[in-house]
Amino acid sequence: MTQWVENPTGGRDRGPTALARAWAEILVRPRRFFQTGVAPGDQAPGLVFAAVVVLIEEASRFLVVDLARRGMLSTGPFPYPAIGGFSPGVAVLAILAIIVFVTPATVHLTAALQTLILMPAAPNRGGVSETVQVLCYAMAPCVFAGLPFPEVRVLVTAWAAALYVVGTAVIHEVRVGIAAAVAALPAAIVFGYGFRGFDAVLRLLSSSGF
């Protein structure tokens, strides 16, 4: 059995309890969390955190679709793409592929893009490792993004984007206004497209007659 120990460099603790505590802290005290919970070179806990968030989001989305197929639940005007059409076995493989390959690749590529955008605006910026961690932990509200309600998806993705802005301001030592400007594109990629926040907005506008 793996023994989870505190990171000696000052990063996050390891283990299920630490994950749950980090999730609660990022939602309640985000600025304090980013000040104390992000350490240079300590990406592993953040990547595990992001993987768990994606696992819960994708698994809940598949469960909703499966219940809808059985006539036990209605998804209303909010259809679920891709994984909702898979059999359980294929869905498990798809979720594993998303967690093991897609999520870390997306996070690292987006963090690299964020670093390029930060160069002219943040002379005291942190490294790519810190940006990766901020992006991972900002995903915390997205555990609810798999629920069949576009209002919920819009809320949690907007919340996650706001957390990312706060984390960017803290870690890279810039004002919140500058952080919002430089974090806009990475946030749009991860939360607008990755967690389908934009799709939820479009569906709400469509159902409202716009």
Distance in angstroms (rounded) separating the CA atoms of residues 72 and 198: 28
Q: What's the mean per-residue pLDDT of the chain? A: 86
pLDDT in tens, 12-38: 667 889 999 999 999 999 999 999 999
Distance in angstroms (rounded) separating the CA atoms of residues 115 and 95: 28
What pLDDT is stored for residue 76 in this prediction? 55
What pLDDT is stored for residue 95 in this prediction? 84
Q: What is the pTM of this model?
A: 0.87
Residue 103 burial (CB count, 10 A)? 22
Q: Helical H runs in 119-188?
A: 128-138, 150-171, 176-187
Q: Which of 123, 200, 204 is nearest to 154 (CA)?
A: 200
* Residue 11, pLDDT above cutoff 60: no
Alpha carbon of 87 to those of 22, 63, 82: distances in Å?
33, 11, 11
Q: Is 33 in contact with 25 (CB distance < 8 Å)?
A: yes
Distance in angstroms (rounded) separating the CA atoms of residues 85 and 66: 9
What pLDDT is stored for residue 43 in this prediction? 93
